[in-house]
Structure 1
Amino acid sequence: MGIVIMHSAVSVDGFIADENDEVGPLHDWYFNGDTPITEAGDGQYDHSGVGSGFKVSQASSEYVRSAWESIGTIVMGRHLFDLMNGWEGRPPTGDHVVVVSHRPKPEGWHPEASYHFVDGVTAAIDKARELAGERAVAVNAGDVGGQILAAGLVDEVAMDVVPVVFGSGKRYFGSIDEQHLLEQPHVVIQGDRVLHLAFKVRR
């Protein structure tokens, strides 16, 4: 069974967006290099064109490509789903998406897409693991990611730390209010205007 990884780009002071869901410069590093994340003609990660314009530093390209290759299922909250309209049924990586929501999938919304709407974080991770098989489950950071971490269901925390201070906004760990110990980082990669970090969650 694959691992569960909580992930997002994040400001130095721990925010993944401002109060209006604007990410500011948090994703600029996806476009400031000369190395594509995806190779020419490689459609595996550009289902919706999301990855087709990404050009990053060589170090970031190697790291992100490897991470994306490992993902089978993405878990996201309903707020992000509504904000992005679920990437129009074409996630940037992985084959399946599980949405944590008390509301069902919008009627008629991309019936061909492997999107599953599940009420509750434990059920969502169970479904995501079932769909991912041996591949990883990627959990979007934020309120839902924080709930999944608090439930003891996250194996690894991965952060793309961007050198900007937001001051306020949407927190990487959501509203989590208890301490969780992480191991020493096993990934420390410096890209251009981004520092990739990954920590295993201490059990």
Structure 2
Amino acid sequence: MGTVIMHSVASLDGFIADGNDDVGPLHDWYFSGDTPITEGGDRQYDHSGTGSAFRVSKASAEYVRSMWEAIGAIVMGRTLFDLVNGWEGRPPAGDHVVVVSHRPKPEGWHPEASYHFVDDVAAAIEKAQELAGERTIGVNAGEVGGQILAAGLVDEVAMDVVPVVFGSGKRYFGSINGQHQLEDPHVVIQGDRVLHLKFNVRR
């Protein structure tokens, strides 16, 4: 099975958006560099749904490119799906998306896209593993990501830390309870206005 990586951009105090789901300056680094993430031109939908092309610093491009190329499936919550309208059926990475939701896929929504709706986080990871095979499963941080971590189903935590303090908002780990130990970071890459970190989850 592929590695399960929980990932998102976060403020220094651990928020992925404010209380109104606005990411503010968290994603500015995606569009402020001179290097495209993908060689053939980037997909047009970022996590905030602005539709701008990704251009980052060289250090960030190498890191993000290798991570995105490894992803076979993404697991996301219904809130993010609704906010970005599922990236219009074209996820920024991977070929498949699993949405954790008690509501079904909107009727008639991009029937050509490999999007699968399940109502349980364990079932979501199982479906993503089936779809991704040996490739990586990317789990979006937030409430669903925190539930998947709490269930012991996350192998790595990846954070793109931006030098801004939000003070309040939507937490990277959601409303997770209890302590969860991580190993020392095995990836530390400084980009332009972002620090890329990766931690293995301690078993």
TM-score interval, smaller chain = over 0.9
1:8 corresponds to which residue?
8
Q: TM-score under structure 1 normalisation?
A: 0.95
Say which SS state the counterpart of residue 186 (structure 1) adopts: strand
Do structure 1's residue 71 and structure 2's residue 71 form an aligned pair?
yes
Shift of 1:70: 0.4
Structure 2, unaligned runs of 5 or more: 47-51
In 2, the alpha carbon distance for the partners of 1:101 and 1:53 equals 29
2:49 corresponds to which residue?
none
Q: Percent identity?
A: 81
Moved over 6 A (4+): none
The root-mean-square deviation of aligned C-alpha atoms, in Å, is 1.1
Shift of 1:124: 0.4
Mapping 1:54-65, distance limit 5 Å: 54-65=54-65
1:191 corresponds to which residue?
191
Shift of 1:50: 2.5
Do structure 1's residue 145 and structure 2's residue 145 form an aligned pair?
yes
What is the one-letter code of the residue matched to 2:20? N
Do structure 1's residue 50 and structure 2's residue 84 form an aligned pair?
no
1:117 corresponds to which residue?
117
1:23 corresponds to which residue?
23
- The alignment of Structure 1 onto Structure 2 pairs a total of residues equal to 198
In 2, the alpha carbon distance for the partners of 1:55 and 1:75 equals 24
Do structure 1's residue 172 and structure 2's residue 172 form an aligned pair?
yes
1:80 corresponds to which residue?
80
Shift of 1:171: 0.1
Shift of 1:33: 1.3
In 1, the alpha carbon distance for the partners of 2:33 and 2:83 equals 27
In 2, the alpha carbon distance for the partners of 1:183 and 1:60 equals 22
Structure 1, unaligned runs of 5 or more: none
Say which SS state the counterpart of residue 185 (structure 2) adopts: coil
